[in-house]
Chain A
Amino acid sequence: MSGPRVLIVDDDPDLLALMAETLDLEGYEVDSASNGARALDAVERGMPDLILLDMKMPVMDGKEFTRRFRLTHDHEAPIVVVTAAADARKSADEIGANGFLGKPFDLDVLLATVARETGARAGD
């Protein structure tokens, strides 16, 4: 069985692996990218049901990714910002994201957020 598709975008490989493993264990179909440019490629391979997006990344940051993604795909997939910024909520508001997670986070909260966002999507 294949659950909702989640694209994880983060330049830290350990954190990326942690989130991927956690979601995989819960039955999500996980794709990952280490920066915004790769995430755009990933989106072309297949539109995810949710994007977990780090903000500060080399090559292309979260803000620029969001701008370009919205140009071609509008709001096709919800975006949840996962950030180490001092004010995670502000980062999310700045790009009009659907939600945010401040680092560090509890896995329970990560799973609840992902469930909520993908569930809402499924209900569209």
Chain B
Amino acid sequence: MEPLDPAQENHADGSEAPVHGAAEYGSAGRILGAVRFAAESFLTSQTMSERIDEVLAELGAAADVSRVYVFENELAADGDLVTCQRFEWAAPGIPPQIDNPVMQRMSYERSGLEMWARELSQGRIYESRVGQYTQSERDFALPQKTQSYLLVPLMVEGSWWGFIGFDECTSPRRWEKPVRDALQAAGSILSAAIQGWNARREKERLLERQRTFTEAAWRRAAEWEAVLASIVDGVWVVDTDMQVTFANEGARRIFGARRIEDLLRPWSEYVIFAEIFDAAEKPVGVEEMPPLRALQGQATTDIGTQIVLRSTGERKYLGLSAAPIRDSTGEIVGAVAVATDRTQQVEFGRLKDQFIRVAAHELKTPVAIMKGYAQLALRVGDQTSPSQRERLRAIDRGSDRIDRIIQDLLSVSQVYAEGFALHFKPADLRELTVAAIGSLSKEAPDREILLDAPAAAPVLVDVDRIGYVLRSLLDNAVRYSPAGGPIAVTIDVKTDEGSAGTGGPGTVTVSIADQGIGISPTKQRHLFEPFFRAHTDTPYDYGGMGVGLFTSREIVRQHGGTIWFESSEGEGSTFHFRLPLGDVDERAQGLDRG
């Protein structure tokens, strides 16, 4: 190791430094040979690390330097540009620096080596030697015994990637032009190689990502396929031409097709599997069905549909839903349809209604016998004792109660099945109210019932049904005012003069007010639900089916009226119902609109 001459630290022009002279040209030739070796090596390498050590050794030997190394730039988290030593070759006897921590994440700025960054980032070579060192360079180079060095920038895709550097530790070597050119060529070859490796890595990463995505997509598709296959509902996908492109096992089952593939046809051809009807059993054209409406952007939910299979004649009740499928731009590219088979539910509902009807029908005759004989015995038994007569009346009343339960069951069944068949005829609501009060007085003779009504209230109603409403409301008023306060019945007629053709000649409202126990606010909103009994499990539970108000509301509704109430606990309840007044024209139109 030559001692450093302090005099040479004068930065005049550097001409004091030893010159290798003509030998430099021979050296450049050897370097170019090494560059060729590098090019060949890199061409056959998949990554930089594969053959870089050989290449650096070849270059080091050819350039006759102490060390050759490669640094790669990185941007630190704080935005500082740092550089890290990646590879190094050191001549025999020269201490390597690859394990020197200074060489890792070395900040250009903090190390005072901004001039490296300034020159190299512009694509220019940077060189210096012991006589020209700045203080920072001395601090950096001298501990490594570096007397002269030359850095060649590595530019990858137009950006400064890092540098390849050459150290001379044996003399403050000056780098002659042929050598510099040759070393620059080495840098260019390495730059090009890095660019190639990066591109390859990028491509592999893309391929890998693509494979991951494809796998995920396949897995997702398989999951969906399994889900769609295992759900009971029928699922279809149609394209914009209404061609079915997907159908699941549920769909096959619903249409009784032999294979799922048979379902992959235009939706319009589904008539070959079944006749299709709407909920009201009217034939439905395919163009009215949910999938086509979905293609027009209209989602539908649970449209009642019936099909009759051509193969077996089997009738099925379906709930059909459909929604549009949109691409990323929001354009409709197809539709998905889902059919839920509700046949069992519908059939069970029918069975239930049928059961209620048959049971009710079969109960009526024995009740008629009980009731009739009790009444007959009362009629003929002049010598029957008073207690005996009371027993007979009890049988009569019990029969009436059974009859009311039967009526209630039938009413609920009718409301759910098809509504009531109403038999309209002109009547006087005052007369009907008086009759209902009369029949109530038979059961509760002590109860005071006050009627405030005009002379007549003409209506067009089903007399039996409105009678039921009046009796239900009066019954409730009596039952739930056990203290026996008076019940006030008001009939209020409102005629709208000069509004002919806008809803009839007016309305009549019947109000029935008791001073009873009232209904708690939490129960009020359930009052019109079937089988709801507001006073269940209270001391005021007087039995009954809990359908009186439910049925009454249906009856009033079908008369074009409304029913409502006010109630406060401990003070009593008032129930009202309002009907249109019957007009003369309607009476003339005939008696039966049911």
Chain A residues with CB under 8 Å of chain B are 12, 14-15, 18-19, 21-22, 25, 56, 84-87, 89-90, 93, 102-108
Q: For the complex, what is the distance from the CA of A106 to the CA of B368, rounded to whole Å?
A: 9
Among residues of B, the one whose C-beta sits closest to the C-beta of A87 is: B421
Assess the A104–B376 pair: CB atoms within 8 A.
no
Q: For the complex, what is the distance from the CA of A21 to the CA of B373, rounded to whole Å?
A: 10
Q: B466 — which chain A residues lie within 8 A by C-beta?
A: none
Assess the A104–B403 pair: CB atoms within 8 A.
yes
Assess the B375–A106 pair: CB atoms within 8 A.
yes
Assess the B369–A15 pair: CB atoms within 8 A.
yes
Q: For the complex, what is the distance from the CA of A107 to the CA of B392, rounded to whole Å?
A: 14
A-B residue pairs in contact (CB < 8 Å), sample of 23: A12-B365, A12-B369, A15-B365, A15-B368, A18-B368, A18-B369, A21-B376, A22-B372, A56-B361, A84-B361, A84-B362, A84-B368, A85-B361, A89-B423, A93-B592, A103-B365, A104-B364, A105-B372, A106-B371, A106-B375, A107-B372, A107-B375, A108-B375
- Which 6 pairs from chain A and chain B are nearest by CB? A104-B368, A84-B364, A103-B368, A18-B372, A103-B364, A107-B375
Interface footprint category on B: 20 to 34
Q: B379 — which chain A residues lie within 8 A by C-beta?
A: 22, 25, 107
Chain B residues with CB under 8 Å of chain A are 357, 360-362, 364-365, 367-373, 375-376, 379-380, 399, 403, 410, 414, 421, 423, 464, 592
Q: For the complex, what is the distance from the CA of A15 to the CA of B372, rounded to whole Å?
A: 8
- Tell me the number of A-to-B contacts counted with CB atoms below 8 Å: 59
Q: A104 → chain B, closest Cβ, in Å?
A: 4
Among residues of A, the one whose C-beta sits closest to the C-beta of B360 is: A86
Q: B53 → chain A, closest Cβ, in Å?
A: 101
Q: B370 — which chain A residues lie within 8 A by C-beta?
A: 104
Q: B371 — which chain A residues lie within 8 A by C-beta?
A: 104-106
Q: Given A25-B379, A103-B365, A104-B399, verify A86-B357 contact (CB < 8 Å).
A: yes
Q: A4 → chain B, closest Cβ, in Å?
A: 19
Q: For the complex, what is the distance from the CA of A14 to the CA of B437, rounded to whole Å?
A: 33
Q: A84 — which chain B residues lie within 8 A by C-beta?
A: 361-362, 364-365, 368
Q: A85 — which chain B residues lie within 8 A by C-beta?
A: 361
Q: A104 — which chain B residues lie within 8 A by C-beta?
A: 364, 367-368, 370-372, 399, 403
Q: A15 — which chain B residues lie within 8 A by C-beta?
A: 365, 368-369, 372
Q: A93 — which chain B residues lie within 8 A by C-beta?
A: 592
Q: For the complex, what is the distance from the CA of A93 to the CA of B410, rounded to whole Å?
A: 20
Q: B364 — which chain A residues lie within 8 A by C-beta?
A: 84, 102-104
Q: A18 — which chain B residues lie within 8 A by C-beta?
A: 368-369, 372-373, 376
Q: A106 — which chain B residues lie within 8 A by C-beta?
A: 371, 375
Q: A88 → chain B, closest Cβ, in Å?
A: 9
Q: For the complex, what is the distance from the CA of A3 to the CA of B376, rounded to whole Å?
A: 20
Assess the B380–A25 pair: CB atoms within 8 A.
yes
B365, B375, B376: residue with the most chain A Cβ atoms closer than 10 Å = B365
Q: For the complex, what is the distance from the CA of A12 to the CA of B372, rounded to whole Å?
A: 13
With beta carbons under 8 angstroms apart, the residue of A14, A25, A86, A107 that contacts B410 is: A86
Q: A22 → chain B, closest Cβ, in Å?
A: 6
Q: Given A84-B361, A104-B367, A105-B368, verify A90-B421 contact (CB < 8 Å).
A: yes
Q: A19 — which chain B residues lie within 8 A by C-beta?
A: 372
Assess the B372–A86 pair: CB atoms within 8 A.
no
Q: B368 — which chain A residues lie within 8 A by C-beta?
A: 15, 18, 84, 103-105
Q: A12 — which chain B residues lie within 8 A by C-beta?
A: 365, 369
A14, A90, A104: residue with the most chain B Cβ atoms closer than 10 Å = A104
Q: B376 — which chain A residues lie within 8 A by C-beta?
A: 18, 21-22, 107
Q: A83 → chain B, closest Cβ, in Å?
A: 9
Q: For the complex, what is the distance from the CA of A104 to the CA of B407, rounded to whole Å?
A: 11
Among residues of A, the one whose C-beta sits closest to the C-beta of B369 is: A14
Q: For the complex, what is the distance from the CA of A107 to the CA of B592, rounded to whole Å?
A: 28
A15, A103, A105: residue with the most chain B Cβ atoms closer than 10 Å = A103
Q: For the complex, what is the distance from the CA of A108 to the CA of B360, rounded to whole Å?
A: 23
For the complex with contacts A21-B376, A86-B357, A107-B372, 13 further pairs of A-B residues with Cβ separation under 8 Å are: A12-B369, A14-B369, A15-B369, A18-B373, A25-B380, A84-B361, A85-B361, A86-B360, A89-B464, A90-B421, A104-B367, A105-B371, A105-B372
Q: A107 — which chain B residues lie within 8 A by C-beta?
A: 372, 375-376, 379
Q: For the complex, what is the distance from the CA of A14 to the CA of B373, rounded to whole Å?
A: 9
Q: For the complex, what is the distance from the CA of A84 to the CA of B371, rounded to whole Å?
A: 14
B364, B370, B372, B373: residue with the most chain A Cβ atoms closer than 10 Å = B372
Q: For the complex, what is the distance from the CA of A106 to the CA of B369, rounded to whole Å?
A: 11
Among residues of B, the one whose C-beta sits closest to the C-beta of A12 is: B365
Q: A105 → chain B, closest Cβ, in Å?
A: 7
Among residues of A, the one whose C-beta sits closest to the C-beta of B373 is: A18
Q: For the complex, what is the distance from the CA of A19 to the CA of B372, rounded to whole Å?
A: 8
Q: For the complex, what is the distance from the CA of A85 to the CA of B360, rounded to whole Å?
A: 9
Q: For the complex, what is the distance from the CA of A19 to the CA of B376, rounded to whole Å?
A: 9
Q: For the complex, what is the distance from the CA of A90 to the CA of B423, rounded to whole Å?
A: 9
Q: For the complex, what is the distance from the CA of A21 to the CA of B376, rounded to whole Å?
A: 9
Among residues of A, the one whose C-beta sits closest to the C-beta of B361 is: A84
A84, A89, A102, A108: residue with the most chain B Cβ atoms closer than 10 Å = A84
Assess the B414–A103 pair: CB atoms within 8 A.
no
Q: B273 → chain A, closest Cβ, in Å?
A: 37
Q: A117 → chain B, closest Cβ, in Å?
A: 19
Q: A81 → chain B, closest Cβ, in Å?
A: 13
Among residues of B, the one whose C-beta sits closest to the C-beta of A21 is: B376
B364, B403, B410: residue with the most chain A Cβ atoms closer than 10 Å = B364
Assess the B414–A86 pair: CB atoms within 8 A.
yes
